[in-house]
Amino acid sequence: MKTIDDLQVAGKRVFVRADLNVPLDGETITDDGRIRAAVPTIRRLAEAGARVVVASHLGRPKGAPEARFSLAPVARRLTELLGDSTRGDKVAFATDTVGASARETVHALPEGAVALLENLRFNPGETSKDDAEREDFAVRLAALADCYVGDGFGAVHRKHASVYDLPARLPHAAGGLISTEVGVLRRLTEDVSRPYAVVLGGAKVSDKLGVIDHLLDKADRILIGGGMAYTFLKAQGHEVGSSLLQEDQLPAVRGYLERARERGVEFVLPVDVLAGAEFPDLGTKAPADPRSVPVEAIPAELMGLDIGPRSRELYAAKLADAATVFWNGPMGVFEHPDYAEGTRAVAQGLLDARAPGGEPAFTVVGGGDSAAAVRLLGFDEHAFGHISTGGGASLEYLEGKTLPGLAALEDQ
């Protein structure tokens, strides 16, 4: 696929489909990682003399404006991050997507300036499953620009108007973020340095079955944590108390455990967990009184909420000699300090991992909650090989799926 080096952007209106889908507490951005990841491409285009028109979604509005999903706070943060590298005092903000405000804002942009459109999902055409409705929105977006740069990796697995339909209507290229993400994912799927360890966590095993299926042919070790671990433990015959359990997935999980044995892939599950009587209060973060229990003896009235101390040591040992590590999903309820140590141990395990030759492992944090955990727990993001901006997109790529947004950027 082409890159922005292949586009003539000076004086042109360049539509940048970014992923600025950040968490908000009211109008306060609680994690600006995705905005910061989008800045290099935006800055580069602005400094090259482009009129940069940035667009993104935020949250899941139902095709109509909702104040709580406005990108206005993002425009303010983007202004701060871009600093004086663009023309104008601030990022211009259009209060609609393709209406009068968008047209007037874009028309008024001087060379080297940046505008941000309002949330694309405020228009039903963005996410419509009706091709005609989606294409109509793409045509109206195309009227705002001379060329297109796809840089929202976190959205490339969606067949949405701004991701899939719009590139076909304009000269297009991949931004720096997407180019980097694809390069990293290829290192996880082609000519991988071994030993190759994969750490998967998060709530639902059903969200990860596809990637487990695909990585059973590639990984040397698969470490499981988070809520999804309890379905695996149940499949091994353990009682899991009131822990999160997807009983309908037990046959599939047993099948994967058997395939792993047949192929010599080491499957690592918790040997103990931190359990509590109820889900912890994430608002006040009041003390939760966790109990460390072996997986063979989880009381019926307790739920597992993190991997335990022996499991933390086990997982660190299984990562210690890895040459490549991919991690997606926390080990527990990392947002609460009483259940954060399992996730902290895995993050530290990635940093400590050394390949058999002694060099640091190539480590990839697969976006979403894992990336948020790295920041919340105070780790230096730059110490990891790569922190992805798209958890779902990363997983679908690793499953071997064709991602619509990447297919749309391929050279015609």
Give me the residue spans of the domains in the chain: 4-179, 192-399
Q: Is the bond leading into 294 cis (omega within 30 degrees of zero)?
A: no
pLDDT of residue 87: 73
Residues 6+ apart with CB under 8 A from 322: 195, 196, 197, 221, 353, 355, 361
Catalytic residue check, 204: yes
pLDDT of residue 412: 54
Tokens linked to 326: 């991919």
255 is in an annotated binding site: no
Catalytic residue check, 342: no
pLDDT of residue 72: 97
> Which of 2, 103, 187, 204 is an active site residue?
204
pLDDT, one tens digit per residue, over 364-379 is 998 778 988 999 999 9
Dist CA 120 CA 115 (whole Å): 14
10 Å CB burial of residue 385 (0-12, 13-18, 19+) is middle
Dist CA 195 CA 115 (whole Å): 46
pLDDT of residue 44: 96
Domain pair 4-179 / 192-399, same fold: yes
The model carries a pTM of 0.88
76 is in an annotated binding site: no
159 is in an annotated binding site: no
pLDDT, one tens digit per residue, over 330-339 is 999 999 999 9
Helices (H), 83-175: 100-107, 131-142
At 164, the amino acid letter reads Y
Catalytic residue check, 368: yes
CATH number of 192-399: 3.40.50.1260
> Which of 34, 44, 221, 234 is an active site residue?
34
34 is in an annotated binding site: yes
Q: Determine contact, residues 271/312, Cβ cutoff 8 Å.
A: no
Where residue 246 falls (left for φ over 0; alpha for ψ -120 to 50; beta otherwise) is: beta
CATH number of 4-179: 3.40.50.1260
What's the distance, Cα to Cα, between the start and end of the chain in Å?
9
Which segments of the chain have a pLDDT < 50?
none
60 is in an annotated binding site: yes
Catalytic residue check, 392: yes
pLDDT of residue 88: 67
> Which of 308, 342, 368, 391 is an active site residue?
368
Q: Is the bond leading into 23 cis (omega within 30 degrees of zero)?
A: no
Dist CA 194 CA 206 (whole Å): 27
